[in-house]
Amino acid sequence: MIKIRFATKEDLNEMIDLYVDNNPKFGSDRRRLEYGLSALLNDPNKGYEVVAVAEGKIIGRIHIAMEWSVYRNANFWMFENVYVSPDWRRKGVYTLMHEWIYSRAKSDSNCCGLRFWAFENNKPARSAYHKMQMDGTIVELFENDFVFGNNNP
């Protein structure tokens, strides 16, 4: 059985491992990652981590960041860093997490919708989002990354 829930401070070490697994380049500085996740887990204004738990361990996670929309007078919940452990992929874990988040977002009057970022070459992510009846738009993300530089994967 898979249980979906918000991450807690007690999940910190397991969460760090999942972030490193998801992106070894960005996860190479475990101390920075620990501080970043601790800050997030201690301050809901920064967003949330939603986790999928099975067999006593976290098997998937989604970071939800808030993006204020002046036009809608509410926040979009931005999905970032979606990750499911390799052994659990293609078993409905992402779908369960998405549905759990969707139901909470729909009932939150301060949420105006869900948004995702997916790199153009990330076909599995794009396929999963389309399966959840999300529309894709052609946008390009521009950034100055003061930590990892501008040559991100």
Across 41-64, average pLDDT: 95
Q: State how far the Cα of 10 lies from the Cα of 53, in Å rounded to an integer.
A: 13
Q: Which sequence spans correspond to the domains of the chain?
A: 3-115
- Of 122, 100, 2, the C-alpha closest to 53 is 2
Q: State how far the Cα of 137 lies from the Cα of 129, in Å rounded to an integer.
A: 12
Across 115-129, average pLDDT: 69
pLDDT at 92: 93
Which CATH number applies to 3-115? 3.40.630.30
pLDDT at 94 over 80: yes
pLDDT at 111 over 80: yes
**3-state secondary structure at position 11:** helix
pLDDT at 114: 86
- What is the reported pTM? 0.81
Across 22-32, average pLDDT: 85
pLDDT at 144 over 60: no
Query: Which stretch of 2-11, 37-46, 108-117, 129-138 has the lowest confidence by average pLDDT?
Result: 129-138
